[in-house]
């Protein structure tokens, strides 16, 4: 008897799982358009901190530090420009 109930419940779960329609699922909230840029910006700032730490430890020469810092700052400028463009396209003020 217990085995029959367990099998019946398993079949019911499988049937409900297979026959759920997308329209029955709750709507997801809209994605934040700034999330990707914020993550990229945070990663760049973290890389800049790590770079400065490695310079202090003596793992990097001054030339390597300057080149890497310049590249990261250029990448950060691109991200900040994308954020500004996104704000302008959404009609948000700075």
d(CA 13, CA 40): 41
Q: Is residue 36 part of a domain?
A: yes
Q: Is residue 6 part of a domain?
A: no
How many folded domains does the chain comprise?
1
Confidence (pLDDT) at 26: 82
Instruction: Answer whether residue 73 is part of any domain.
Output: yes
Reply yes or no on whether the pLDDT at 94 is more than 70: no
Using a cut of 0.75, tell me whether the model's pTM lies above it: no
User: Is the alpha carbon torsion for 26, 29, 35, 39 positive or negative?
Assistant: negative
User: Is 21 part of any domain?
Assistant: no
83 has pLDDT over 70: yes
Report yes or no on 11 lying in a domain.
no
- In a domain, residue 82? The reply is yes
Distance CA 21, CA 83 (A): 37
Asked whether residue 45 carries a pLDDT value surpassing 80, the answer given is: yes
| 9 in a structural domain | no
User: Rounded to an integer, what is the distance from CA 92 to the centroid of its chain?
Assistant: 22
64 pLDDT above the threshold of 90: yes
Instruction: State the residue range of the domain holding 79.
Output: 32-94
Q: What is the pLDDT of residue 93?
A: 61
pLDDT of residue 41: 95
Whether residue 13 has pLDDT greater than 70: yes
Residue owning tokens 């530090």 = 65
Residue 76: inside a domain: yes
Mean pLDDT over each residue of the chain, to the nearest integer: 90
């Amino acid at each position: 008897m217990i085995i029959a109930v367990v099998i019946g419940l398993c079949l019911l779960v499988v049937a409900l799982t297979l026959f759920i329609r997308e329209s029955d699922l709750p709507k997801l909230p809209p994605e934040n358009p700034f999330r990707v840029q914020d993550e990229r910006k945070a990663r760049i700032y973290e890389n800049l901190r790590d770079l400065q730490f490695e310079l202090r430890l003596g793992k990097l020469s001054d030339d390597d530090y300057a080149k890497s810092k310049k590249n990261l700052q250029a990448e950060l400028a691109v991200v900040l420009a994308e954020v500004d463009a996104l704000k302008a396209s959404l009609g948000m003020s700075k």
